[in-house]
Amino acid sequence: MDQNETNLPQNLERCSWCLKFDQYIQYHDKEWGVPVHDDNTHFEFLILEGAQAGLSWSTILKKRDGYRKVFANFDPKKVAKFTDEKLETILLDPSIVRNRLKVFAAVNNAKRFLEVQKEFGSFDEYIWSFVNHKPIVNRRKSLKEVPATTKESDALSKDLIKRGFKFVGSTVIYAHMQACGLVNDHIESCFRYKELTSISSEPRKK
C-alpha cells in the first residue's frame, strides 16, 4: 500500500475515526474488517496491536513499515529466533515504538504463535473458532455504539493469556478481531459495511 497515494474517493461516507490522514483512510477502505485467513497477517496485527497498547492506532500505522523492517516482515518463525542482543539493537531504532516490554513480548508471542500453529494446524484455524468460523456482523449506528470488548474477545484474550501470550488483553484482542474481520464493526452508513457484509455471507474457502 502506497502511503503517499492521495487519489482517494472523496464522496463516500466512512467511519469517522479514519478521516485524519490519507494513510488512515486507505487502511479503512482496503484492510480494516476484511476477513483475514493468513497466519503472517494475524501475527503482524498481534505485534502492531500489542505495540499500540496505551497509544493511538494512527501512531502505529505511521510506523508500520518500521515494524515490518525490524520484525522480519512479520515472519513468526524468524522473530521467534531473535536474540536478546538483536532486540537491544531493535530498541535503538526510532522507526518503531521503543518500549522494551513490548519489543521483548513480540519474541515471546512469536514462540507462542508457533505453538498454536502446531496444535491447531494454523493460527487462523484457532482464532476463527472463537466466532464459530464466521464473521460477526454488527449493526452499529454510530461509533458510540462500538464496545471496547465483547464476550468473544474476553474468551479469546483469556485463552491467549493462558497460553503465555503478552499484551493480549481483551481490548487489544477486540481490536484484532475488528481489524482482521472476525467482526464487522463498520457503522451501517459506511460504504464498507455493505461490501464486507456481502463478503461475510460467502462460504469460507478452505
Residue 153 to residue 89: CA distance in whole angstroms? 34
Q: Is the pTM of this model over 0.95?
A: no
| Ranges of residues in the chain whose predicted pLDDT is under 70 | 1-9, 200-206
Closest by CA to 185, choosing from 154, 140, 144, 142, is 140
Residue 88: active-site member: no
Residue type, 77: K
| pLDDT value, residue 203 | 52
Lookup: cell for 60: 502505529
180 to each of 48, 173, 196, how far by Cα in Å?
12, 10, 12
| pLDDT value, residue 199 | 75
| pLDDT value, residue 85 | 97
Specify the 3-state DSSP secondary structure of 37.
Answer: coil
Contacts of 73 (CB under 8 A, 6+ apart): 40
| pLDDT value, residue 1 | 39
Catalytic residue among 17, 31, 57, 188: 57
| pLDDT value, residue 3 | 42
Instruction: With residue 137 as reference, give the H or E element that holds it.
Output: strand 136-137
Q: What is the DSSP letter of 187?
A: B
What sections of the chain are H helices per DSSP? 22-30, 39-52, 57-62, 64-70, 76-79, 84-90, 100-120, 123-128, 151-162, 170-179, 191-200
Residue 57: active-site member: yes
| pLDDT value, residue 187 | 97
- The number of C-alpha atoms within 13 Å of 93 and in the hemisphere containing its C-beta is 16
Cell 502506497 sits on residue: 2
Catalytic residue among 27, 67, 126, 128: 27
Catalytic residue among 24, 32, 44, 49: 49
Residue 17: active-site member: no
